Structure 1
């Protein structure tokens, strides 16, 4: 089961969107419609079965009443015949003694009896079987008892009250029904009593039943004791359809007939077919009137509805498929442009944007939103790639600067050390101190073991630089650093403060003049480290100040160009923004003739600080 669910999930996941939409529409619309239709058909089948059983029950009851009415006519005819006492007396007398009496009997009593028979259309023959040795058998209505078989049948009649019906007569019984009645004569000493037999052809007595050749129900009269003896119309559609299997059907039904359950429909399974039977028991005939219907024939209409529903469902599914196909084609036509652009980007064409075709204030649908987001993503990728290229350029410039500075570094160190020793020998301490400061600067700038240094290392390098400048230019530049002890060990990008101090030295005061440079550090909002480098020099020309401020407040994604003085303010600012974001970098403020203040903003979290 788990394997099948996994397999189905994979098939669904790998299916096309149009197939998924078709499945969704089918589950939501087509399948519920089919289920409702089938449920409706089932309800109709139940109602049809109920109506058919009611119709069949009414038909059986009507046949039962018709047969009982005809039986009453038989009994009336027999009673009327027995009222002809002269006829009965004559057939029990010596018919051979007087020919004139016989002629008169023929003209009178016999003709009257014959008229009684003719007046009943159902009666095909009325016969008397008389135990009289002087009987004349010159008419078909009068026979000697020896011609009746079985001769002991009179005992059965006696036990049944003197009269009885046989569904199949003793004589010509295959197609004839008979009514037998004892004729008792007072004082008669004969061995056998007289039996009167009234016969009727099945085709006449059961004409209503045998004339039906169609309809849902097949009517049969079944003998109560012999399952092989039945009366039905062989031309009926049911009989012709059943063919040789009819006897099996009738036998299965006969075995389940029950007088006590005759008001309930009977269900019989014969092979793969189901049949329903409704019946009534006719006690005088010892027979059952049965109406049989095939389940398949009764449900033929609803079964055809199933095919109709399936055809309609297939048509609906086809329409859904066409609708989904048309809709997805229109949707995927625009989606294909997105996929085409993605394939071009995969090949390296980052300018392969999607032509959306929307006005400025139009938002479009979900695919348009994807296309807009995709175009923005391409712009962002281009920006980030430019930023990465800039970072790589910065790293290369820094490495080249370092390598350039390290050319013959050992020679320079040795030369400076020799000059310092000579100054010590000649008792020139100022020159020796200047050489020490210059050597410290050279080592700091040439040795790039890491992209970051502790703030105290950068500060020590700046102090060496100030000492050397004061020696070289004879100035009195004063550096004051008001820094808390807890920030001295924080890592900052190397050479990020040196260019600012150089600008203050070169531009704040004339050659040989004095200037005071003050450095302060503080933390803003627990998120930024703020370093201010302020001098009290000549300040910056307003036009130059505006130009610098415009550059420092501009877009940091613009290409970086190295200035004439090496890593200038603009480059320092852009490097800080590239590494730490636009919230970091440099800002400058100055009043001409009063001061210049450059502020560095770096992330306060030391773990986020990095180098170039």
Structure 2
């Protein structure tokens, strides 16, 4: 927590003044608006929920009344059918003894029964199941009891008062509702009583329920005993949206159904969604009529309000940001001048002072006071920098004079010459040649008549260095050049090629191996002198090469630090750029296992060349 607070304080401290003002306005205006808006929306959500539950409860009650009315109608039809006593007596008599009697029955009593069935559109089929061995099964309304299943269902009908409903009929029960009624108890010649079955398609009996394809509530008739059995409209938006989760939703709701608590809404959570259910118990059907709605559907209007509040608030904040930005820009434009001058000074432009516009003895405001102090600081900074540079030059000259006074170069050269002559007398030409090379190296590095030398002198020093290294380390280093004659006399900075050759000798050659170093010089576009030092050594790793190139592209303001090998490539590059500009310097190119090439970029105009 303390770390987070510290981080926030730092962010606030580093923010611009306009951002701080915007934050202050946001906290004093936008946040209270957000809070009030969301509290209002929450109140609207509660009210919307109560209204939805009231409408759902009313809809469930209305469906309950409609279904009970249809059941009453169905029971009236069954009572009317049972009043056809002649029909009932005939199907229990011997229908085979007299054909003429059977024909008259077909033309009169059966036709009347058929008309009763046809006059009610809800009834899809009416059948009698009679335990009569002399029964004729020549019409679909009359069957022998053997065709009825289950055989002992009449016991259930007897216990329930002679009549009962099944939400899912025994025959074609997936789509059919049936009403069973005892017609006549068994007689002496009967093993089972007669049963009447009236069958109705679900699509007809629950027509209003199944025709409803819209609205927030989804109506379902659930079997009271079996949670896997229910009737609903598969084309309803709720059903289509729920998909495979519909059975899980219905099963979760069925677990909480209670006929004694049917006035209380049910709330279930399936996955990330919440659902509400209102229900009524229909005793004759032993089923529940249930209305289901998702929290997502009920609260779609409040969600729209949430989006509207967020959008309006964001627009208000954007407008506030523009106003604050313009206001602070006008108020603090002089402070922007101070910041602009500071950025230029950071890039090295120490003469970028601030024009305050004050006249005479005017003092100005706080920002003007900052500008005046800033200008004085720049003057003092320039004076101190000049003083430091002068001190460094004096110290450097003193150090050089001290070195020159400590080394008696003539004594050293004479000693090396005496040793060389002794090596020749002793017939040791290799030692003699090495001493010549060493003497040339010492003479070249210790005699600084000028900061520049001719290109041929630098090449001669490199040749002496290669010869001496071959003698000292017993290696076979090769040096080749391809340089036009007219370039050999041009002046270049002394010792600018030596560190590159040393790197090639120490890092490019494989262990105890040899390499060939090739030096070429060319003029590019009459304005740039390119000196390429290429070796056929082991090359540079791609990652290391990328790091080297990144170092060579760094800002010139970074300090120059001597490497462990003395004046390294980075220092050569930076000193070249400091003296000749950003178009000069080094570039490294290499392929692992193939070659490494270092290119020195110098201005071609010889009069512009200078030294270290």
Residue number in structure 2 paired with 1:267: 267
CA drift at 1:299: 1.4
Root mean square deviation, CA, Å: 3.1
Does 2:228 align with 1:221? no
Figure out how many residues of one structure are paired with residues of the other and give that number: 368
1-side partners of 2:352 and 2:90: how far apart?
A: 132
CA drift at 1:318: 1.0
Residue number in structure 2 paired with 1:137: 137
Residue number in structure 2 paired with 1:245: 245
Q: CA 1:334–1:103 in 2, change beyond 3 Å: closer, same or farther?
A: same
Does 2:119 align with 1:119? yes
2-side partners of 1:136 and 1:77: how far apart?
A: 24
CA drift at 1:57: 1.0
CA drift at 1:351: 13
Q: Which runs of 4+ in 1 moved over 6 A?
A: 337-343, 347-353, 371-378
Residue number in structure 1 paired with 2:309: 309
Residue number in structure 1 paired with 2:65: 65
2-side partners of 1:261 and 1:150: how far apart?
A: 34
Does structure 1 conserve the Cα–Cα contact (< 8 Å) formed by 2:186 and 2:194? no
Q: CA 1:284–1:15 in 2, change beyond 3 Å: closer, same or farther?
A: same
2-side partners of 1:32 and 1:356: how far apart?
A: 48
Q: CA 1:158–1:337 in 2, change beyond 3 Å: closer, same or farther?
A: same
2-side partners of 1:76 and 1:208: how far apart?
A: 21
1-side partners of 2:153 and 2:351: how far apart?
A: 115
Residue number in structure 2 paired with 1:528: none
Residue number in structure 2 paired with 1:79: 79
Does structure 2 conserve the Cα–Cα contact (< 8 Å) formed by 1:354 and 1:371? no
Residue number in structure 2 paired with 1:232: 232
Does 2:187 align with 1:191? no
Does structure 1 conserve the Cα–Cα contact (< 8 Å) formed by 2:92 and 2:135? yes
Q: CA 1:372–1:13 in 2, change beyond 3 Å: closer, same or farther?
A: closer
What do residues 186-241 of structure 1 show as CA deviations (whole Å, max 9, x unaligned)? 96552110101111111100000111111111111111111111111111111111
CA drift at 1:282: 0.5
Q: Which stretch of the first structure deviates more once superposed, 37-46 or 131-140?
A: 37-46
2-side partners of 1:321 and 1:90: how far apart?
A: 95
2-side partners of 1:189 and 1:142: how far apart?
A: 18
Does 2:103 align with 1:103? yes
Alignment of 1:365-404 (within 5 A): 370=366
TM-score, L = length of structure 1: 0.56
Q: CA 1:354–1:55 in 2, change beyond 3 Å: closer, same or farther?
A: same
Q: CA 1:243–1:97 in 2, change beyond 3 Å: closer, same or farther?
A: same
Residue number in structure 2 paired with 1:321: 321
Does structure 1 conserve the Cα–Cα contact (< 8 Å) formed by 2:176 and 2:201? yes
What do residues 522-560 of structure 1 show as CA deviations (whole Å, max 9, x unaligned)? xxxxxxxxxxxxxxxxxxxxxxxxxxxxxxxxxxxxxxx
2-side partners of 1:162 and 1:351: how far apart?
A: 109
Alignment of 1:340-489 (within 5 A): 355=358, 370=366
2-side partners of 1:124 and 1:349: how far apart?
A: 101
CA drift at 1:17: 1.2
What do residues 546-577 of structure 1 show as CA deviations (whole Å, max 9, x unaligned)? xxxxxxxxxxxxxxxxxxxxxxxxxxxxxxxx
CA drift at 1:145: 0.5
What do residues 232-254 of structure 1 show as CA deviations (whole Å, max 9, x unaligned)? 11111111111111111111111
Q: Secondary structure at the match of 1:318?
A: helix
2-side partners of 1:226 and 1:9: how far apart?
A: 63
5+ residue gaps, structure 2, are: 344-349, 375-612
2-side partners of 1:32 and 1:40: how far apart?
A: 12
Residue number in structure 1 paired with 2:587: none
2-side partners of 1:17 and 1:368: how far apart?
A: 21
Does structure 2 conserve the Cα–Cα contact (< 8 Å) formed by 1:356 and 1:368? no
Does structure 2 conserve the Cα–Cα contact (< 8 Å) formed by 1:56 and 1:217? yes
1-side partners of 2:21 and 2:13: how far apart?
A: 13
Does 2:276 align with 1:276? yes
What do residues 425-471 of structure 1 show as CA deviations (whole Å, max 9, x unaligned)? xxxxxxxxxxxxxxxxxxxxxxxxxxxxxxxxxxxxxxxxxxxxxxx
5+ residue gaps, structure 1, are: 361-366, 379-612
CA drift at 1:50: 1.3
Q: CA 1:349–1:187 in 2, change beyond 3 Å: closer, same or farther?
A: closer
Residue number in structure 1 paired with 2:597: none
2-side partners of 1:253 and 1:349: how far apart?
A: 78
TM-score, L = length of structure 2: 0.56
